[in-house]
Every structure is written in structure tokens, then in C-alpha cells.
Structure 1
Amino acid sequence: MSEFFFRSPLQEHIQAMIHQKQSLGYKYDISARSLFKFDQFCVAYGCTEPHISKELVQAWIQKRPNEAQATLQNRIIVVRQLAMYMNRLGVQAYLVPKNIMPKGPRYIPYIFSNEELAALFKQANACHYRPEVPDRQWIMPLLFRLLYGCGLRISEALHLKLRDVDLESGVLTILDGKFNKDRLVPLSAELLQRCHAYMKQVHPFSDVNAYFFPAPNGRAVTHNNVYKNFRNFLWKARISHGGWGKGPRIHDFRHTFAVHCLRRWVLEGKDLTAYLPILKTYLGHHSFSDTSQYLRLTAELYPDITAKVEQAFGHVIPAMGGDGLETN
């Protein structure tokens, strides 16, 4: 359940909807925070009844100075979801029309080439000690290889604890991933060897509850610290960056992993109708459509296999457009 304290007349409906979403497997953390801000807005607006009026919504969805389009879109979406939830209960709530919601640009992942990956890993290998992350020279080379080699989300990698890393079986246990789905991720022989060497350097006497990628305060290395290192490695590897929000992004290691897997399988003549469910499970996707988006992307990026993909597997390639690929 959310850790936020709601105070507006809508508090019961907000809390009930958050509970419903999370019970269905959605983390709903960011949306819960947006609903908390909406609850605060309702208090400041002077709401006295457990209803959502058109005037309240119109005031809430006004674009704020310097507000990113994605932030505004999220604010509109959460209040629309709340109104739909309340309407289903027979409670009066103004529903924002779909056509007024701003459409964000299609997210286009950056797929690293093998040469770019080699250059990035070379820079990660060359990093050295820094006070904020004393084990930086050990953490960064392995962390970025895990992101690519296992297709992990950065949050999943940073949440790993020693008990989740089984070096005997060579398997990572990803707990509470996206949609609260746990899964097992096998390590390649090379990654397993690197994990053994890493453990000797960073965790010779650590408790099983210690974070696999630790910060000096006993918690995990922060996403912000990893991002700073990522930008530094990109610059030293001479891989251009489009600026904040444009990429390449840390999450693109995961996209690259998926695309490289699919390209290799196509070139090897594998039956993708059999292999896509494997990739879906490996990545921890919620639905098959999430995974099949990578098939379209693979065909777009590699002209040498486009004809082969369309001829043999066109029936599983999603139409252009759609909801797009995950961004976190």
C-alpha cells in the first residue's frame, strides 16, 4: 500500500484505486505520487465533497511553467484513471476526454553496436576509485555488463542482494521486478566468472542481505551515480549523447540485448514463434506484445535480415506505431 498520507475528501477513492492497481501486479509508484500531489491540490483548491468536478480537473491539467510534456501527460492520465474508477462505483467524477491528452514523441531506443559496447566496457574497466563509491573500479565494469548481458532493468540490478546471486547455479533471482513479477535469470559463463572475481574483491565477508552493488552507506549505489558514470563512459568512448531525455540511455542496454538476441536467432534460422516466449520470460515482460515490438525494431535496424524476418515471421511482427517499447 502507498506510504503517502492523503487528506482530501477523495482520499478513500484514491487509496482504494492504488490498492486495486497494486493488487493486480502494478507497482504504481510514480502514479501514486502523482495522486498524492492531486490530493494536495484538492485540499488547496478547497474541495469539500468526494466528487471530481470539471472545474477542478481543468485547474489541475493546466500546463505549468517549464513543465515537461511527459509530466503533464502523467498528471492527466492519473486523474482520468481515478475518474474512471469512481464512475464505475457510481460516484460523480468528470472524465477528461482522450483527445485533449498531449501525445509524446515515439520512443526510439538506441541500439549499441558491438564496437560501441566494446568501447563502453573498455572505459568501464578503466575507471578508478572515488570516495562516493569506493568499489567503483569493480562495480561499474560488472554492472554495465549485467545490464547488457542479462537484459536487466537498472532498478533490478541495483536492488540485487547477495542472496539473489547464486554463483553455484549461475542464476540471478530478480525479486519484485516490474509488475511485481519475480523471475530467474541465468548468467553466461563469462558473466559468472566475472561475478566470482567481483565477489572476492567486494564481498569477501559480506552478509547475504548486503546489496550486490553497495554504496558506503550500506545501501545500493544510486541510479544518479550510475547515470553520471554512464555519461562519462559514453564521452570517453566517443559515443555522442543527444542530451537529457534523448539518449543513449541506460535502459538501452536492455533494448540492445533483446535486439541482438533476435538478430542472432534469425540468422541462425531459429523459429521465433518458439523463441519469443523464452525472451518474454527472460525479460520479465507482462505481455507478448511487449516482446514482439523488438521483432519489428530488429527488422527495421538490420536491412540484411528484414526480408527473412518478414517472409518467415511477419505474422508475429506488430504493426508500426502501437504503444511502443518500454522506457524503464
Structure 2
Amino acid sequence: MNDTIITIDEVEKHISGYLLMRRNMGFKCNTEEKNLKSYIGCYRKAKEVLSEHNITEWCKRRPTDAADTWQRRCTYIRQFLVYLTNMGLAVRVPPVVRTREKSSFTPYIYSSEEIIAIYAVCDNLKAVSTSTHNGLFAMPVLVRMLAGTGMRISEALSLMVHRVVLDQGYVILHACKNGKDRIVPLSETLLEVCKLYQLYRSRLPQVSDYFFVQADGCPLSYKSAAGWWRKILHGAGILHRGDLYGPRIHDLRHLFCIESALQQAKNGANFYTILPVLAAYAGHTNIASTGRYLRLTSEMYPEIMSKTEDVCEYIFPRMKSHEY
């Protein structure tokens, strides 16, 4: 047990102070805040919230945890406990969790036929009840926005109306994952879809300042979008294997990056020009992050692979084999 018993109110107060300190240092802390609040919700009724037993249970790996998810959860609670020790409170800090396990996750790359089927299902979605508190209203546009721009689902859901400049054909993504803003252009077809959506959106009795809303005018949540996405996949005949394995709605971003690189390669560009531009467009801080999206094989994309070999051949020369 910890040497100091801290009440639930004190813990919540310290969490607020900890997050404020982190944000003043320039960190966004959205996921960190969500994780710490989840811990509080799990052990709120415990006699001692920050007991060694509770911390140990929280830091155990769950069957559905990917390696990085498990490591982040342990890191968040550990950093908070270190903060408490620096505040003079006697709490036990768990050891650092380090995993050398490489991620085996492979994004699902939708085929052209699957994308057409997904759009068709989106355009024919029907609500099963008369409740307006669902995300059906925005899903056809949201799916096309993700597939047509490659933006993150979090960026789309946080998009505000005043940052959607339809008369000039672009949107402004504010305070993205790396803390920077970026401008994302819209294609002509996507622009027409957004204008039609905006027309019907303006007819809602009450509506929030978020661009993607439900029929009741409230902001569209990730939970609602994910629920509708599973229904869309089912309607398109695509097997959904669970939240951990997908296919996920975020995989539309992978598809956009790969298709963009493929199109540029077909136009004669090489990776010296493709990756830096795509990295800036996708909001990555380095080319390596963009490279992880391009999980390509020579069987799927021979055009890109052949051009990559041509560009990099002098870096990795073919060696003659000799028998000794």
C-alpha cells in the first residue's frame, strides 16, 4: 500500500494541476487526460485510489492491447505518479514498461470496388429509429472527406465551420497532431458534396459550430462514426474483425497516402519528390512517418516498386556473388 492515502477529490485536483503544467509546456495531453480519467472512473469507489494493487492491475497488459497502447497507458499513469512524488507525496511509482515488440499491424487497403460499394452504402443508409441523435446525417460526407483528403478522423471531427472555405475549395485544419495548422484542398467532386451537405446542414433548427454534426445539430462523435462505419462495412460486404484489427475508418487515410504515391509514380515522379510533399500534406513531421503508410509490395504496386528500385539502385548496388 502507499504510505499516503489520497482521497478521490485530491487525486482529481492533482490530475488537473498535472495536465495544466503539461499543457503550459506545449503538450496537448488529450489522450493522456482521457487515460487518467479512465483510471479514476475504474477505481473511483476503491478505498485507496492510488494503491499499489490498483496501479499494478492498471498496468497489466489486456488481451486486446497492442504493444504501443499498453506502453502508453503505463507511461501516462507513471508520469503522473512521478509528478506526485515531486509534489512531496509518498506514492509508489511502477517501473518503466518497455517493449521491443514490433508492431505487426497492417492497415487494410480498400480496393476500388470496395470504395465504390462503401459510397453506395453511405448514400442509402437508413435510421432504425426516429431519434435524431445519431451520426447518419454526416456519414456520407465524412467518409468521402477522409478518403478524398487523407486527413485523420480526429481532424475531421474537430473541423469547425469557419475553417471550411467552400467558395475557395479548401479547409483549414487547426492544431493538428503535431501542433501545427495546415491547409487541405478539396477536389471538385468532394467540393460539390460538401456544398450540398452544407445546404442541408444550414436548414437544421439548431446546429453547433462543428462542421460534421448529427441530425439534432450536436457534434458528431467518434463513437457514433465508428458505429456507423461497422454498419457500412457490413452493407458493403467487408468483414469487420473487431476494433483492434478493423478494417478501421482511419484506414482510409492509409489508402489516400498509397494512392497518392501511386499516382505520382505513374506520372514519372520518384520518392525524392513524392515523400517530402506527401509528408507535408499529411501533417507528418518527418518522412519516416509517411513511409510507414506506404506498406507496399511488388505484387500490389509494381509501378512504385520498380521506380523505387531505379532511384535507389546506386545506394544499394547489386553485388556479384563468388564461390570460394
Provide the alpha-carbon RMSD of the alignment.
4.0
Amino acid at match of 2:300: Y
Q: For residue 179 of structure 1, give the secondary structure of its aligned residue in structure 2.
A: coil
Residues in 2 aligned to 1:27 and 1:269: alpha-carbon distance in whole angstroms: 40
Q: For residue 184 of structure 1, give the secondary structure of its aligned residue in structure 2.
A: strand
Contact 1:121–1:141, Cα closer than 8 Å, also in 2: yes
Contact 2:75–2:96, Cα closer than 8 Å, also in 1: no
Residues in 2 aligned to 1:156 and 1:303: alpha-carbon distance in whole angstroms: 29
Residues in 2 aligned to 1:85 and 1:310: alpha-carbon distance in whole angstroms: 50
Residues in 1 aligned to 2:152 and 2:112: alpha-carbon distance in whole angstroms: 20
Instruction: Decide which structure has the larger Cα Rg and report it.
Output: 2
How far does residue 78 in structure 1 lie from its aligned partner after superposition? 1.7
Per the alignment, residue 130 of structure 2 pairs with 131
Greater CA drift, 255-264 or 305-314:
305-314
Contact 2:172–2:182, Cα closer than 8 Å, also in 1: yes
Per the alignment, residue 7 of structure 1 pairs with 10
Tell me the TM-score normalized by structure 1.
Answer: 0.74
Per the alignment, residue 31 of structure 2 pairs with 30
How far does residue 86 in structure 1 lie from its aligned partner after superposition? 7.8
Residues in 2 aligned to 1:142 and 1:33: alpha-carbon distance in whole angstroms: 28
Residues in 1 aligned to 2:205 and 2:216: alpha-carbon distance in whole angstroms: 14
Amino acid at match of 1:220: P
Residues in 1 aligned to 2:257 and 2:226: alpha-carbon distance in whole angstroms: 21
Distance 1:98-1:172 versus aligned 2 partners, 3 A rule: same
Per the alignment, residue 193 of structure 2 pairs with 194
Contact 2:212–2:219, Cα closer than 8 Å, also in 1: yes
Contact 1:80–1:95, Cα closer than 8 Å, also in 2: yes
Per the alignment, residue 148 of structure 1 pairs with 147
Match 1:63 to one of 60, 63, 66: 60
Contact 1:147–1:253, Cα closer than 8 Å, also in 2: yes
How far does residue 89 in structure 1 lie from its aligned partner after superposition? 10
Q: Does 1:218 align with 2:217?
A: yes
How far does residue 135 in structure 1 lie from its aligned partner after superposition? 9.4
Distance 1:303-1:260 versus aligned 2 partners, 3 A rule: closer
Residues in 1 aligned to 2:126 and 2:44: alpha-carbon distance in whole angstroms: 50
Residues in 2 aligned to 1:11 and 1:127: alpha-carbon distance in whole angstroms: 44
Per the alignment, residue 76 of structure 1 pairs with 74
List alignment gaps of at least 5 residues for structure 2: 1-7, 316-324
Q: Does 1:232 align with 2:228?
A: no
Amino acid at match of 2:230: R
CA deviation vs aligned residue, 1:248-283 (integer Å, no higher than 9, x gap):
101001111111111111222214323323222222
Residues in 2 aligned to 1:90 and 1:144: alpha-carbon distance in whole angstroms: 49
Contact 1:162–1:208, Cα closer than 8 Å, also in 2: no
Per the alignment, residue 320 of structure 1 pairs with none
CA deviation vs aligned residue, 1:205-237 (integer Å, no higher than 9, x gap):
889963322224431122222222222221221
Percent of residue pairs identical? 28
Per the alignment, residue 325 of structure 1 pairs with none
Amino acid at match of 2:30: D
How far does residue 56 in structure 1 lie from its aligned partner after superposition? 6.9
Amino acid at match of 2:175: D
Q: For residue 126 of structure 1, give the secondary structure of its aligned residue in structure 2.
A: coil
Tell me the TM-score normalized by structure 2.
Answer: 0.75
Distance 1:15-1:108 versus aligned 2 partners, 3 A rule: same
Amino acid at match of 2:263: R
**Equivalent runs, 1:236-275 vs 2, <5 Å:** 236-275=235-274
Q: How many pairs were matched up? A: 302
Amino acid at match of 2:65: Q
Structure number having the greater helix percentage: 1
Q: For residue 199 of structure 1, give the secondary structure of its aligned residue in structure 2.
A: helix
List alignment gaps of at least 5 residues for structure 1: 317-328
